[in-house]
Structure 1
């Protein structure tokens, strides 16, 4: 485990549990106690590692009987998930988030290695050769949404 931070360890733990079922329900405080961290650390892991871009739906219920439900989803089998993903992209997306989406598509066998590589080239900042970051992120969003829509109609 040398070289791994606590977020990596918590992520791996949750993914291991998730591998045995279609979804998990956790209590933030219980996981925090298990790893001897503050509950906000669990929030951080969930918000950064279990996103729709990475192929996860997260639902939380607050209060005494509250829980966090994490569900692994197949991005293109469920049209609502794909629509949610497109909504998350919106009119602007960073290169890092776009690559994360493409990685998930590859991990889920939605696209081949070659297709993923081509998608990454299409959204890479060096492809645009412009110095306006807002324009760059807007172009990237348009391209990625177009690619996702094309995949939707082929699947």
Structure 2
């Protein structure tokens, strides 16, 4: 039996559902917290971990009395430019979670097949790279190479 989804998953699904119909939304952290009966910091957690540029979103926030959080889905009109931007998001080290987010976005944008994405997820996993002191550096090098290769193919 599948475990019920946690509050963070429910908040993420709610926001993504709205973003399917609108390319940009503005929310108030306290109103969202009241809606989901959670603390405002949980709203921050969801936004900071699940609505990242690696996953195809830009986030802008304004604090204060009339503050808001604006989430916008990035439209990818130029795949070569997108690949270049993603490649610049990280340097010489990359956490597994961030690599997974990038790979999922590449799949969503149809730059990878499901099979290719699953193979890459396996290759960059902690289960494979975790035995090395240079785990994050190796993961970064692998993903930089993949992005450069995909970018090269987009030019052709």
* TM-score, structure 1 normalization: 0.83
The residue aligned with 1:112 is 113
Equivalenced residues, count: 153
1:54 to 1:72, Cα distance in 2 relative to 1, 3 A: same
Whether contact under 8 Å (2:129, 2:139) holds in the other structure is no
Q: CA deviation at 1:113?
A: 1.6
Unmatched tracts of structure 1, length 5 or more: none
The residue aligned with 1:11 is 12
The residue aligned with 2:37 is 36
The residue aligned with 1:21 is 22
* Counterparts of 2:70 and 2:81, CA distance in 1: 18
Unmatched tracts of structure 2, length 5 or more: none
Whether contact under 8 Å (1:58, 1:69) holds in the other structure is yes
For residues 92-119 of structure 1, the C-alpha deviation after alignment (integer angstroms, 9 at most, x for no partner) is 1122321221122112322112321332
* Counterparts of 2:5 and 2:94, CA distance in 1: 28
Q: CA deviation at 1:34?
A: 1.3
RMSD (Å) for aligned C-alpha atoms: 2.6
For residues 11-37 of structure 1, the C-alpha deviation after alignment (integer angstroms, 9 at most, x for no partner) is 111111111011111111111111121
* TM-score, structure 2 normalization: 0.82
